[in-house]
Every structure is written in C-alpha cells, then in structure tokens.
Amino acid sequence: MTPTLPRGLTCLFLGLVGLAAAALNAQVPASSIDPNRYPKVAWTENETPEGKEARMRWFNDARFGMFIHWGLYSEWAGYVDGKRINGAGEWIIESAGNKLALSRYLTARDRFNPTKFDPDAWVKAAKEAGMDYLVITSKHHDGFCLWDSKHTDHDVASTPWKKDLLKPLQEACLRHGVRFCLYHSIMDWHHPLYAPRRKYNDVAQGPTDVPRFVQEYLKPQVREIIERFDPGLLWFDGEWESTYTAAMGEDLEAWCRRHGPATILNNRVGKSRKGMEGMSHGYSGNKGVGDYGTPEQNIPPNGFPKGVHWESCMTMNDTWGFVKGDNNWKSDATLIRNLVDCASKGGNYLLNVGPTDKGEIPAASLERLAAIGAWMRVNGEAVKRTEASPFIRPMPWGRITRRGETLFLHVFDRPADGKLVLPVDNAPRSAAFLATGAAVAAKRVEDSIVLDLPATLPDRRVSVIRLVLDGEVRPVGGLVDGRVRASAGRLLLLPDTAELGAGLIIESKSEGKPNIGGWVDDRSTVAWKLRAPKGSYVVTAELGAPDAGNRLVLDFGGGRKVEGEVPATGGWDKFRTVTLGTVELDGDVDLTVRAGPRKGEGVANVRSLTLTRR
Ligand code: H79
C-alpha cells in the first residue's frame, strides 16, 4: 500500500489541478476537446437512448484514443534465450509453449524497473496527436498489475520500482485534459483459482474455481481500480474462455454500474462479442453486453445504425506489447486514413503503443504520433465532434464526416477526372480545403453536387474539403439518422440502405448497379426505415425476373399495404420499372416487403423501390 492524502486535501488538490488544466488547455491543439470537462453522466436502470448518448458523449466526440500495453512481457520483449517467440509480445508465455515456465516468466518482476517513465511525456504525446483518452493495461492476461493492489503481490509493488504506475499517469491525464481509462483482463494465466490452469503454470497450487475467482478476486480488483483511478471507461478482454459465463458477464456489468455508474464499459465485459469483428449480437440494449463494440485489428466495412457505438483497436506494428525489432510499422498515411475511416462510420480509433520495460515509447511510434498530430492540428475539426457520413457505404475516393450543415470530404485518391460527385439534394454554399483555405469549385448538377478538384491536392495522404450546404444534408437514397429521406418529393429505396432477411444478398447483375438477389425463399423479407412528408405516393419497383406470376407485398404498417404483380422482364439481369400501387404516408415508416407464394425459380432481383409523391 502507498500513502494517500486525506480526502479533503485530495479534493483541494484536484481542484487546483483542474485550474491548471484549464490554463494548459489554452495551449493544446484546436483539435482537442478535453473530456475531463464533460459532465459525468451516470448510467441508470431504465436509461433512454438520449440518456445513453449523453453518457457516451465524451467518448463519441473524442474519436481518437491511445492504447498502452505495458507489463512484464515488455521486459521479455519477445525473446526467450535469445530466440524470438513468434506472435504478440504480450502473449509470450502462452506462445512459448512450455519453454517458458511461469516461475521463470515471473523473474521479470525482479528486473522490471521503468526508470525512464515520464507520464507527462506519454500524455503529451497522446494529446498532441489529437487523442483525448488513453487506455492502459491495469492487468493483462499474465495477471501482473501495474498498480499496488491490495488483493495481490503479483504487482508493481513487487518490482525494484515498487511504486504505483497508474496514479502518476492518471494525474498527468488530469493535468493535460486527457481521459484516463483502464484495460483489464478477465482471463488470468497466473491466478491459482483461474481455469483452465495452464501447463506452464508451475506456481499455482490447489483446485481451480472460476466462480470464486470472479467473486473473490476479479470483482474486488475491478472495484479497487474504479474507486482509485476513476476510469472513463473499462476495457475488458479475455472474456472468451468457456469458464467465464454469460451470467458472470451480466453480474460483472452490474457490479461496474454500481461502483462506477459513469464509467463506460466495452462489450467484452460479457459474452456477446462476435469474434474479432467485435460487434455484439443484436448490437446493444441487452444485459451483459456493455456499451460499445470492439473490432480488433480491423475496421468495419460499413457504418451501423445511429446509437450503435464502437471503437476499432489496432497496433502500429505487429504486436501490442513491446517486441524488440518488430519494425513492421504502418505508415502515417495509413494511420490517418484509418482514423478518418472510423470517424466516417461513426466509430473511434484506439491506436496502440507498447512502451519498453524502461518506460520509453518506441521512437517510431512517437514519430507517427507527431505526424498524425500535425495533420490533426490542420484537419482535426473534421474528425472531432463529427457524425458519420450520411451515405451508408464509403465513397470510392475517400470518406465523409459531417457536423450540422457541413460535410467534410476527406479525399484519399483524386479521381482521374478530378470530379467528386455527391448524390445530395442540396445546393453548395461554399467549399474550401482546410489545409490552405483555397476554394474548390462546387456546383449543383441534377441530383448531385459536383466538385472540381485541382490537379494537385494539399496533402497526398488525406486532403479535407469543408463543404457547407444550404441546409441539413438530404442524401439521395441515403440515410439521415438511420432513415431514408425524401428528395424532391421522392423516396429512393436502394439495396445499400435495406435490411436484408435470411438468404438475401446484394449483387450486381448488370451495368455495375447493385440489386437485391437470391430471393428464392418466399419467407425472406426486405425492410427499409424511411421518413415521408405527408402525402399520397405512387410506388414503383425496378426489378428483373424470368418468371411471371410472383407478387410483392409492401407492408407500411398501420394496415397500409400495397400489393403488386412481378412481370416476366426477360431474365434476372433484364431490369424494368413496374408500378405496384399507391399509398398514403405521413412521417416515420418502417416498411417490410414480402413475397407472395413463389412461382418459378425465384421472386425477383430488385434494384430499387421508388415512392413518388403525387
Ligand atoms: O490485448 C491485445 C491482445 O493481447 C488481446 N486483445 C488485444 C487488445 C488478444 N487476446 N486474444 N487475442 C487478442 C486474439 C488471439 C490471438 C492469438 Fe496469438 C492467436 C493468440 C494465439 C494465436 C496473437 C498471435 C497472440 C499470439 C499469436
């Protein structure tokens, strides 16, 4: 145990730190948002979607954070007896097979002495890169704790360093306006009660008992770190072994809510994660799934409905924990594009550094953080506090973020003809590069805004254009807040924005245009969410079908149905527009399309439905 200040003094001290942080903030880059100043919002039993948005705000607005993997494995640095152990540095004991006994692994505790640890330098490196939170491993799978825990001696207090490493980092975070967060592994290769017990564990004695491990060790430690470090979020991991159950996940989630109601939880607190893709079954809203999804080493190809939160975590080289000589570094261009990619899909990017056992972040990591920071000082406003692109799929030339009536066009690759075509029912007010302020020619052409790019872009990695529109964006066929909107009295329902039932796929049968296909089971459904201005609409479908006699039934809810015949169009790849009927609509509609009893090979390939106001 380390001595602590009396509570009153601590508060006074934190107050002064707050003032100091406010003064420092005047100097931090304009890209930063200081999550420490966001009001704390507590989770409640019957939280509304708006309540959750308020609780998640600092996280959502930040968009960019630093992951830090640091522990005994940093001392091994990927090598045993001078031989590189393949795999991630932090997995060395597991990856070494039985060549590294736990008793020997633990000798790193006698050597772990981070004399170069400079918490202010770490936090500044994060802040100056445009990161507004950091997540450090309080405990990784090897069970070693970076703070002086009252529940174990397998911690930093048992090293030559002796002192808590998390408190100084938390205090540096308060000074610089970075939200301090913790990673905590559920799987524990060291604890004697944890099962399955590893073969290389020659230290643990007695029977394993995971329910007791959870009750007597995991939960008390989680409470200890919440109360001691007030983490903005808890990043659980190692939840996938079958000894940890869904019931334990729900119980741990409830425990965290009770002891840290404002602490955000990732979905690895429970058992809902779909592999490395990282999202939860059914997205969110269920017990034991935490607050957000955790894609690992990948970025989802498309965004998710509004209200689904996620964060992609990724390494800069090949490993999370420090490995000597792992020089497979991603370029700054790749890292900036990844960050923008996440933001354009409504998610965060959590980028890892693996400090050495001496406490140094590798120079190659610092160089990349500095390069990202330089880009963020110019373009950060197009990342921070933005919302996802109004288009459900990425543009071929780059990515889009938005705030209010402004779209930020992040150009990765200049199209050969230099033209960016945005299918929106808006007029442009202004368009200019953030980097230079130089105007970009933008005009309305039919259903689109077309921008003419200069021959050379200001930044070969990502050049951002701030495009101000004449009002809220009205994407043609796209989504605003998860619903297709009308444009010039017309609602265009495309495969991209549909929710496809079992067996249905998006394919392209002709002219490179996508269509919904594979409709051979007449129990399959296709659904759209839309918002229709009050009126009477004619419903048409652009479809291809070899056989006549099939029927499409459109259920608009509230007893409003439109039913129409599918004619033979001459083949699956011969598309024709047919009128299905008319319907009265007013406001938000959840449309479900079903097929009547199937005739022939299948129902139809559907390219689009169009609702046109009369
Ligand atoms: O903390 C980081 C990883 O250690 C942890 N999650 C991130 C945030 C993680 N745990 N499991 N996995 C990632 C996936 C498992 C990968 C493995 Fe392997 C493949 C384990 C053994 C083979 C990676 C590659 C580790 C050793 C070789």
Average pLDDT over residues 70-93: 97
According to the model, what pLDDT value does residue 1 have? 35
How remote is the CA of residue 94 from the centroid of ligand 1, in Å?
10
> How far apart (Å, rounded) are the C-alpha atoms in residues 464 and 410?
4
> What is the separation of C-alpha 372 from the centre of its chain, rounded to a whole number of angstroms?
18
According to the model, what pLDDT value does residue 32 have? 62
Q: Is residue 493 part of a domain?
A: yes
- pLDDT tens string 513-558: 789 999 998 889 999 999 999 999 999 999 999 999 999 999 999 9
- The verdict on 405 and 324 lying in the same domain is no
- pLDDT tens string 330-376: 999 999 999 999 999 999 999 999 999 999 999 999 999 999 999 99
pLDDT band at 7 (very low <50, low <70, confident <90, very high): very low
| Between 11 and 328, residue with greater pLDDT | 328
Q: Is any atom of ligand 1 closer than 6 Å to the C-beta of 96?
A: no
Q: Is residue 288 part of a domain?
A: yes
The candidate with the shortest Cα–Cα distance to 165, out of 2, 362, 14, is 2
Question: Of the residues 93, 183, 237, 277, which should be mutated to test ligand 1's pocket, given the most ligand atoms within 8 Å of the CB?
Answer: 237
> How far apart (Å, rounded) are the C-alpha atoms in residues 129 and 382?
15
Relative to the CA of 67, which ligand 1 atom is closest?
8
The candidate with the shortest Cα–Cα distance to 228, out of 143, 172, 122, 147, is 147
Question: Of the residues 66, 91, 135, which should be mutated to test ligand 1's pocket, given the most ligand atoms within 8 Å of the CB?
Answer: 91
> How far apart (Å, rounded) are the C-alpha atoms in residues 218 and 240?
15
How remote is the CA of residue 296 from the centroid of ligand 1, in Å?
9
How remote is the CA of residue 243 from the centroid of ligand 1, in Å?
18
CB atoms within 10 A of CB 555: 18
> How far apart (Å, rounded) are the C-alpha atoms in residues 439 and 437?
6
CATH, residue 432:
2.60.40.1180
End-to-end CA distance of the chain: 75
Q: Is residue 424 part of a domain?
A: yes
According to the model, what pLDDT value does residue 282 have? 55
- The verdict on 241 and 320 lying in the same domain is yes
How remote is the CA of residue 91 from the centroid of ligand 1, in Å?
7
- pLDDT tens string 186-232: 999 999 999 999 999 999 999 999 999 999 999 999 999 999 999 99
**What is the pTM for the complete model shown?**
0.82
- The verdict on 57 and 33 lying in the same domain is yes
Show which of 322, 343, 378 is a domain's final residue.
Answer: 378
CB atoms within 10 A of CB 335: 22
Relative to the CA of 87, which ligand 1 atom is closest?
27
Is residue 379 packed enough to be buried (19+ CB in 10 Å), middle (13-18) or exposed (0-12)?
A: buried
pLDDT band at 12 (very low <50, low <70, confident <90, very high): very low
Average pLDDT over residues 273-290: 78
> What is the separation of C-alpha 200 from the centre of its chain, rounded to a whole number of angstroms?
35
Residue 65 has pLDDT above 50, yes or no: yes
Q: Is residue 141 part of a domain?
A: yes
For residue 207, give every residue at least 6 positions away whose Cβ sits within 8 Å of its Cβ, in sequence order, or none.
none
| Between 229 and 422, residue with greater pLDDT | 229
**Exposure letters 254-282 (e unless 16+ CB within 10 A, then b):** ebbbeebebbbbbbbbbbbbeeeebbbee
Q: Is residue 243 part of a domain?
A: yes
pLDDT band at 2 (very low <50, low <70, confident <90, very high): very low
According to the model, what pLDDT value does residue 302 have? 82
How remote is the CA of residue 238 from the centroid of ligand 1, in Å?
9
| Between 32 and 279, residue with greater pLDDT | 279
The candidate with the shortest Cα–Cα distance to 65, out of 272, 312, 299, is 312
Number of structural domains (the chain) is: 3
- The verdict on 243 and 101 lying in the same domain is yes
- The verdict on 449 and 503 lying in the same domain is no
Show which of 469, 500, 527 is a domain's final residue.
Answer: 469
- pLDDT tens string 438-465: 999 999 987 789 999 999 999 999 999 9
- pLDDT tens string 594-613: 998 888 889 999 999 999 99
Cross-strand pairs, 579: 540
- The verdict on 137 and 282 lying in the same domain is yes
- pLDDT tens string 287-327: 889 999 999 999 998 888 788 999 999 999 999 999 999 99
* 8 A C-beta contact, residue 420 and residue 435: no
CATH, residue 244:
3.20.20.80
Distances (CA, A) of 568 to 241, 472, 508, 562: 53, 41, 19, 20
- Asked if omega into 196 is within 30° of 0 (cis), the reply is yes
Show which of 423, 441, 469 is a domain's final residue.
Answer: 469
Element (H, E) at 267: none
Lowest mean pLDDT among 88-102, 103-117, 136-150, 474-488: 474-488
According to the model, what pLDDT value does residue 14 have? 35
Q: Which domain holds residue 522?
A: 479-613
Q: SS3 of 69, please?
A: coil
Mean of per-residue pLDDT scores for the chain: 91
Q: SS3 of 553, please?
A: strand
Residue 381 has pLDDT above 90, yes or no: yes
Residue 174 has pLDDT above 50, yes or no: yes
According to the model, what pLDDT value does residue 30 have? 43
- pLDDT tens string 18-29: 333 333 333 334
pLDDT band at 474 (very low <50, low <70, confident <90, very high): confident
